[in-house]
């Protein structure tokens, strides 16, 4: 159960970070409203808070989070940008998630 909660928290964290970066991108690159910066800032604040909820050392959390971020970014590429991931994209995301699992769920001495 710990593993599912950890993964769900990481997934939510990644969406918050990507959204917090995507909204300013829309403003800068697609001439959307500057008001998108308000929810972007809130999303990035949520991202930082969500990272703080993990019960392990911050360095380990950040390292493992990177793997989940890569996976979610590939899903974003497909779902939001409308670009189907290549086999290489999927392989890379799988390798990244495997690294996350090793970092987060390896047995440790208390």
- 40 CB contacts (<8 Å, ≥6 apart)? 19, 20, 21, 22, 23, 24
Contact 77, 93 (CB under 8 A): no
- 70 vs 49: CA distance, rounded Å: 20
Tokens 């969500």 belong to: 50
Contact 49, 94 (CB under 8 A): no
| Owning domain of residue 47 | 2-105
Longest dimension (CA), the chain: 52
Query: Which residue in the block uniquely carries the two structure tokens 């793997």?
Result: 67
Query: Is residue 36 in a domain?
Result: yes
Cα gap 5→53, rounded to integer Å: 11
Q: Looking at residue 55, what is its pLDDT?
A: 74
Answer whether residue 110 is part of any domain. Answer: no
Which two tokens mark 54?
A: 């993990």
Is the residue at 99 inside a domain? yes
Q: How far is CA 41 from the centre of its chain?
A: 16
pLDDT tens across the length of the chain (110 residues):
777 888 888 899 999 999 999 999 999 999 999 999 999 999 999 999 998 888 777 888 888 889 999 999 999 999 999 999 999 999 999 999 999 889 888 888 76
- The count of structural domains within the chain is 1
pTM > 0.75: yes or no: yes
pLDDT score recorded for residue 64: 84
């Amino acid at each position: 159960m710990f593993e599912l909660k950890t993964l769900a928290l990481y997934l939510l964290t990644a969406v918050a970070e990507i959204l917090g970066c995507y909204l300013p991108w829309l403003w800068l690159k697609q001439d959307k409203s500057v008001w998108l910066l308000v929810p972007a800032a809130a999303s990035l604040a949520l991202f930082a808070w969500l990272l703080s909820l993990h019960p392990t050392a911050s360095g380990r959390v950040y390292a493992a989070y990177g793997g989940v971020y890569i996976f979610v970014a590939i899903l974003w590429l497909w779902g939001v940008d409308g670009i189907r991931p290549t086999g290489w994209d999927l392989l890379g995301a799988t390798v990244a998630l495997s690294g996350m699992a090793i970092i987060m769920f390896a047995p440790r001495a208390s």
